[in-house]
Structure 1
């Protein structure tokens, strides 16, 4: 069957859902619920042959939207001649804003080097093989004991060394020859640090000889079209071996697309990229490698491998030198992955002796506690609320998202990313909105929206008028819309945030209990990740997301995981040290922990958490 989406001709299989058709044609569509029809985010406008709405569409879409042909792509069956319009799920807005890296650092221990060599010319009196001649010179000039070379390079060695009368430049990774090029011209040697996030992927290219950053870029992870969080992607992967292949290809395509972008901008050849360091959470690690994730989501949450891995560029399917070294951060255990280890390595505060707590807040929140040589780590399923998923008008931090909310005697004011009319609210805006609503008296400590008619409730008329009855309880209007679709927070939205912040707070309290510590004992609490860097830190304390601590001890570290990957790229010795450190971290499994369960229930209140 033939359909058109945004005027692009596409083919659909009979009985296929429109969502699947769009995904098959590599179109990015919000898919938070993995096609169940429950999130209401995959809105499309069907301009021709719109079907009758289904029950879930009546629940998720307004009457105006339904009348205008808006439907949910995951519920619509594609049919011959159907025409569809849909918008982008987002833009690269904040993705690059936190990718700051030092312009100059040390590249002296990057493990990649080059040397110019005049190989002895063969003769009847000297019948050594080409490789023996090259090996002899490498041992003589570089003090290498047993140089090695891969078969693909060995297959081209003979003509290459003779092209400039046995004068060559050799690129080495420790004892291994990565490339041999004719002549004595300097070979540009670059490396790339890659952070595979669940939502976004970031790459940064560095000159491995000077440590200078050349270019960086970020983009939405292509896997998002198969699910917004790790659980939905695990479910998608488990459905069939083909799905696992799709997920792997999606992340590889995203990385290679970014590499093409930065290499073109910096006028760098892809074959001049001789090293890559990759960091990501356990699920992203497995999906990038094409590993089975079936048992990650099942107790006792066992991964296929947590070990440090080193692949070739060809094995990793990356658009870099075929013999390049691709080094992948090891996971710690369970859902505590290489991104946590990268953040430990990348957060400067954790390099200072003392007691430190690291939080990487997201759908799956990783926590790391350090007390001198004692180290613990755990993960807690906070849910997708921090990224806007599962919230009625939730969205990622992109243009149109409410990111700041202020309620005072003058009324309510919002700040929208990119300016203009609000179309939803992102995670940082959600936290601030709920903190302001609690402070203003719109919410009680249990997180319930108050009854404005209650004589004991003292609210201004402007704020009271924003509380109204919704389909499932009261809701609070954050922004009035010219289309009638006001941006609101419902009672269920607030509950979602309570579950998320309760899980994080309970995880912190459980780790501290195990270590025999209190918040007062900590020298710092470091919040890592893009999301955390846009938080109002005081708000995190006010709503009990983080137990009470002196505000000056709260720090943000930006994309610490990516910074850790950069350090590993430029300093192999330091990377070897952090790999060793991974084995000394005690993993704490919170699933089934009575202590965690007790603290979780106690951490649901929208009030400061005093412990």
Structure 2
């Protein structure tokens, strides 16, 4: 056995032990060391870079590490095996998905505008913003020698009399503290309850003098990113908002790799711990600390996630999802509580799961389709959710059709050499001067924040600018030379956006021909899915009245640039609307309104699912879309080079 030491830039070192020949990435995973590996250790993404400080590693050379970098000690963890005692440094860029948790600043109001707008839209649709949670003040006679009724029965009878509901459910967590709370407050208390026509469920009891806020938690579990908000369930006020990379990403950037990992011994538990213990619970802790809120006062949670993420969150076998006939264990469930899976809130908090439609169209899409309001409009609308999987919903108040395509993680920075999530340090917008080829960048974060990489919206802008300015051709190959154009020894070109000296990175921030090719395939998957679904209904793109684009890939998407690269159809730009993280917004409305929750279930039930792989023309559409903007230029008449 050899000692393996992982050093970090901003935290204490972690020591582990490994056998000779053991893969370094696997050692890191077993030791809970966060190293980003979107390709799940296949040596194709180049993200798991570590620096050899001392000791011995057997490391293969790859195209992701130059000769100069190799001489300086840079290695890919997935291509390295332990050959003796060794110390490696894990740079921030290799663990950014975990370390760069972002807690939003709500003081400006910008972060909560979208939720306020969602509330208004829901109310305009005739849905009441009211849920079944409330705080009830309860007073009862104290026991005497002549009145020896047990506390639980005394409490239940008083609750039945006050609410008029014949069944009161008092869980163990309340029974355990009931005697003390009653006597400390002379049998005059407050209760947090969920009241329905059938029963009253008691979550907590406390002093009648205590101010009580009923906390709710809405969570969007994406394959790459997890976002959450803490809210007051009575008023709908957003108390805190935060996001982080999904800790599961070190087991692969896509759902298939994660399902395969879950089938290994202990794999399911590792993936469940990665999303709960390493991602969701730290987000909860950060939000509660920021807002000075007691996590045990969070009494309800809503989850919007794709079908695979729902299964892995619950520790349910996800393997049948990837195998024909692609059957999930559940489409919806109302039987999940926080204590069942270790969510660090009130143990009896009910977890609402937005319903899945099928194996690859999940609750994130049903929640998003609900909040887009396309189900409530007579005009024809297209809803697009950009993520590791691209999901589409098309229709109106009469019908809805959905489909999913495998776009890969490119929209959230995966499969891109300098890609990252939309968090501080990410380039989110870019323009390039046609003559000098000098870039002008917009970076997420406070003024003076140095760039680290590019998020999805920034990548769209960069590729569009390179293409429109004639720097790359329709295949994504560089056709101009200049100071910012580089070529490696294999002849592969790249464009430098930020030199290392000006970046908070271990190398130049650049976009390569491989990156561009990966992104072209991702955008091609989206556009070909749009065309295939419309064709199946005998619709054309000019029949689309509105396009609602969702996804946490930046503060907004330049729709003109998205059309320029052939990701979206060439229709008037004013028809496009960016609605942000609709999955999170949908989860927010589900937890705030019982009617909204029921309507989301109804939207899911009324949605027809189109399996693209069964449509013979889909692959032809995809191949034709893997150019800038398309092999058929007549489809994009407004795209003109400068």
Q: Same fold (TM over 0.5)?
A: yes
- Report deviation, 1:432: 2.3
User: Could you tell me whether the CA contact under 8 Å between 1:201 and 1:218 is conserved in 2?
Assistant: yes
Task: Give per-residue Cα distances to partners, 1:561-590, cap 9 Å, x unaligned.
Answer: 111111111111221121122111111111
1:411 aligns with 2:416: no
- Equivalent residue runs for 1:130-529 within 5 Å: 130-174=151-195, 175-183=200-208, 185-240=210-265, 242-253=266-277, 254-347=279-372, 351-397=376-422, 401-403=426-428, 404-415=430-441, 417=443, 424-450=453-479, 463=481, 470-479=488-497, 481=499, 488-529=510-551
> Residues 574 and 490 of structure 1: is their aligned pair in 2 closer, same or farther, counting only changes over 3 Å?
closer
> Residues 481 and 279 of structure 1: is their aligned pair in 2 closer, same or farther, counting only changes over 3 Å?
same
CA distance in 1 between partners of 2:478 and 2:618 (Å): 27
Task: Give per-residue Cα distances to partners, 1:315-364, cap 9 Å, x unaligned.
Answer: 13111112222211111112111111111233356654422111111221
Residue 569 of structure 1 aligns with which residue? Answer: 591
Residue 113 of structure 1 aligns with which residue? Answer: 134
User: Could you tell me whether the CA contact under 8 Å between 1:355 and 1:369 is conserved in 2?
Assistant: yes
- Report deviation, 1:23: 2.6
- Report deviation, 1:99: 4.9
Residue 47 of structure 1 aligns with which residue? Answer: 53
Task: Give per-residue Cα distances to partners, 1:65-112, cap 9 Å, x unaligned.
Answer: 111111111222235531111212326487848853547969961211
User: Could you tell me whether the CA contact under 8 Å between 1:532 and 1:556 is conserved in 2?
Assistant: no
CA distance in 2 between partners of 1:109 and 1:562 (Å): 18
Q: Which moved more, 1:249-258 or 1:486-495?
A: 486-495
Count of residue pairs the alignment pairs up: 597
CA distance in 1 between partners of 2:5 and 2:18 (Å): 14
Residue 558 of structure 1 aligns with which residue? Answer: 580
CA distance in 2 between partners of 1:30 and 1:185 (Å): 45
1:67 aligns with 2:92: no
Q: What secondary structure, in the 3-state scheme, does the structure 2 residue paired with 1:377 have?
A: strand
- Report deviation, 1:267: 2.0
Q: Which moved more, 1:331-340 or 1:265-274?
A: 265-274
- Report deviation, 1:533: 4.4
Q: Which moved more, 1:561-570 or 1:313-322?
A: 313-322
Task: Give per-residue Cα distances to partners, 1:472-495, cap 9 Å, x unaligned.
Answer: 554243347468966554443333
Q: What secondary structure, in the 3-state scheme, does the structure 1 residue paired with 2:612 have?
A: coil
CA distance in 1 between partners of 2:101 and 2:175 (Å): 45
Unaligned runs of 5+ in 1: 453-462
> Residues 211 and 234 of structure 1: is their aligned pair in 2 closer, same or farther, counting only changes over 3 Å?
same
- Report deviation, 1:397: 4.1
- Report deviation, 1:248: 0.5
User: Could you tell me whether the CA contact under 8 Å between 2:222 and 2:305 is conserved in 1?
Assistant: yes
RMSD: 2.9
Instruction: Find 1:100's aligned residue among 78, 96, 112.
Output: 112
- Report deviation, 1:121: 3.9
User: Could you tell me whether the CA contact under 8 Å between 1:339 and 1:561 is conserved in 2?
Assistant: yes
> Residues 132 and 395 of structure 1: is their aligned pair in 2 closer, same or farther, counting only changes over 3 Å?
closer
Q: What secondary structure, in the 3-state scheme, does the structure 2 residue paired with 1:557 have?
A: strand
User: Could you tell me whether the CA contact under 8 Å between 1:399 and 1:416 is conserved in 2?
Assistant: no
- Report deviation, 1:155: 4.8
Task: Give per-residue Cα distances to partners, 1:375-415, cap 9 Å, x unaligned.
Answer: 01111001223233333444444566554241412333242
Residue 579 of structure 1 aligns with which residue? Answer: 601
Q: What secondary structure, in the 3-state scheme, does the structure 2 residue paired with 1:302 have?
A: coil
- Report deviation, 1:262: 1.8
Unaligned runs of 5+ in 2: 637-642
